[in-house]
Structure 1
Amino acid sequence: MKIGMCMFLWTTSVSKKHEALLKDIKATGFDGVEIPVFAGAPDDYKRLGEMLDRIGLERTAVTAMGDPAMNLISPDAATRKAGIDYMKWAID
């Protein structure tokens, strides 16, 4: 079994400034971290992945869509499209 730490405990945007914390998480014995995905560009997450690889932490991701303007089951086509666009962005 592998054990991970959810980074929501500290932030909704993990970056280089969290490197010392991530190293501490690894040193404590955790196998990986759960990364919040709410903003940024694919390159931001690529750099984060490279840092996690150097540290030796695996990762999963979490995101959410609480904004009614992105409701995937809305009767409004534009609202559904906004939700689909967000999901595509998060997957990228």
Structure 2
Amino acid sequence: MLDNITLFWLTNTAVSAARLYAENTTPFFGAKGVKLPVAVSVFPDELYESPKTWSEQAYPNLVHYNRLPKGGHFAAWEQPGLLVNEMRNGFRTLR
């Protein structure tokens, strides 16, 4: 995580990277009706834990939904094994 922070700090790109969040005017958690196959893994320490009912509404082609026992916003760093297993289980039906 420090590598990532240092990269933004030394290259002076933190502001431009934050523009996505600052300039977004659409509701972030509004149901979108995404038709692609989607897998949702809910980590308990995430900023927002997506309920299954919302996920089903936002993603009509929801192929996998699971609540995990640990992990948060940086799941790839915090729980890489759990994240990889979720990706494998989530998209197994698409092989």
TM-score tier by shorter-chain length is under 0.3
Higher helix share: 1
